Structure 1
Amino acid sequence: MSEDTKIENQTIPEPVPSRPLLPVTQIALVLAVIAICSSGWLWLEQRQQGHLLEKSLALRLSEFDERSRAGLTFAKRADESSTEATAKIALLEQKLEESRAQQQSLQTLYLELASNRDAWTISEAEQLVIIASQQLQLAGNVKPALLALQTADNRLQELDKPQIIQLRKIINRDIQKLQALPSVDIVGMSLKLDALADAADKLPLASIRHPRTDSTARPDWDSNPWHRLAQEVWQDIQRMVRVEHMDHPETPMLAPEQNYFLRENLKLRLLDARIALLQHDEATYRVDLQTAALWIKRYFDVGDATTRNALDILQQLSSSSITIQLPDISESLNAVAKYKLALERNK
């Protein structure tokens, strides 16, 4: 009984009436809706940017494929140039072997004719005149040919015979013809072309030309603060816009790959000019020099001292003539051969 009485005596809690939604809850719902809308808008924006990125990547891949094809074409041309150079080197080696064979023949001839001083001297002079003729006809080298003729004349002078005087007169006429030719420093010009090819990597490009140093006077810190502030603002405005005088249209910017190929093509032009110089091919030589100078003026900073020096060297090389009208020394060769034949008949 006591337990039932206790239960009845306990107060039964009254139901709490439902309260209306507070403004804070409404604001939270609005913010949640705004957040969901913002998330959806950001998702759409990111999706659109993804499509744009895919298009950009596809465009760049196509450009890279085109550049790869251009690189393959350039490599093919380089292989062809290398093949031509190898063939020329093989030809030079063949001529060197021929020269060595002639030298060996001359040595053998020297041993065979040691017993007959006159015949040996005439044979040696004939070989020297033949070498001079080959130097003129095959390589166009004036100095070795002149040295060979002078050596032949000195050898004939040792005989000191009246019959040799007419032969020496003919050889001396050819020596005077070679001495009258204009001097062309082929070796020096070739070294200048090699130096220009080595300096091609150091020439500054016109598309990455650095701006001039700002020489605007600094504001007077001891002046009126308002005046100093006005000076600073005016100097900032002047730095925002810079007007420069351009003698030529502005060169478009080149990609790093294009910069590399530009410098390599310039080197190839200079090396081709060097090969044409050694071959006395003046037409090809001048075309290569003009093309190299045109590329330097178009793509490199002509205001830089290194670029101006390269253009000056190219101008000097272009003004020099490498083609010389070589004389014919067959008269000396025929005279020596006839005298040698006369000696053999008198034996």
Structure 2
Amino acid sequence: MSNETKSTSAELPEELPDEAKQPKPERKASLAAWLTIIILLAALIAAGWVGYRYVYQDLLASNQQLVAQSEEQARQLKELRSELEQQVQQLRRQQQELPATIEQQLQQNEQGVRRSLSQQAQTQADLERAVQAVQAELASLDVSQATAWRVLEARQLVAEASTKLYIDQEPQLALQLLDLADTHLAALNNPAYQAARQAINDDKVALRAIDADQHLQVAMELNSLRARLLQQQWRLQAPGRTVSAKQPPPDAPWYEHLSASAGALFDQLIRVQHLEKPIQPQLSAAFVELAKQRVLMQLQLAQQAALSQHDELFQRSIQEALALVTELENESDLNLAALSTDLTQLAAQSLQPSLPDQLRSLAIMNRHAEAINAGAGQ
């Protein structure tokens, strides 16, 4: 037993160095952990500095710009609100005056139609009396006198037809006068006046081709356009809030990748928008509805002008409506191209009928009348 104890005690000094070697890996592991912590802290400090230097400063600048834009937008909204109130007041005054104006125009149109009908009835009665008087006088004339009288009377009727056509703008009455002039030449049954009758017939064909009711067609088109516009709903779309993040190229420096990563992290908390055009105040629904009512009012005025054949008022109302539609389309996302096209086509139309340059029969009848007058003078 003593020998075993001695051998054990003798072996102890040899085992102590191995036990002394065991704490060294633990110190290395702790040193590596501390180095890792120091590197992470340094990376966090560097990321914080880069974020402060590039991201936070950009956010501050963007915030200042947004504050300035918000103040400018508030000022513009205030101006727009005051302008809108003025336009509302003006529209209310116009709406209050519109029924009286329309009633007055309708009364004037009615009075004009009545005067025109009475004048036409009086003219027709005068023509009937003149024809009866001429027929009674014609019965007492001889053949030569009757021929001269009929030619001169046909020439006078053609001249009256020209006056009614180009001065009074009454193609139907001019057509009736040409019919009456043709009956005088037909009663002569003389081939010498065949060219004059052919010219009168050509003028009658040209007058029948005149659309005397063109202003009524324009008025009906305006009525249809107003009906379609009343059924339309002018609604503005809300602005989008999408943000497009730009990724740096693969060969970019490390700090750009770090800034992009930090920006993506901040985008989850803060949304920043970069617009390619200046921020403008969005039009309100009340302003859009007011503009629509103004367009409808201008179309109604244009319709009244078309019924009364007032070209100047018609063109002014159509141009005002077209200017309102164009301005609203430029300042909003409303699609009003079809309405602008319809207004442009209406502005190109004329309320007055397209008349021929001159009556061909007038020159021929003047020559016949001069020949008869020259023979009578001899």
The TM-score with structure 2 as length reference comes to: 0.45
Which protein is bigger by CA-based radius of gyration? 2
- Compare relative contact order (CA 8 Å, sep 6+) and give the higher one, 1 or 2: 2
The TM-score with structure 1 as length reference comes to: 0.48
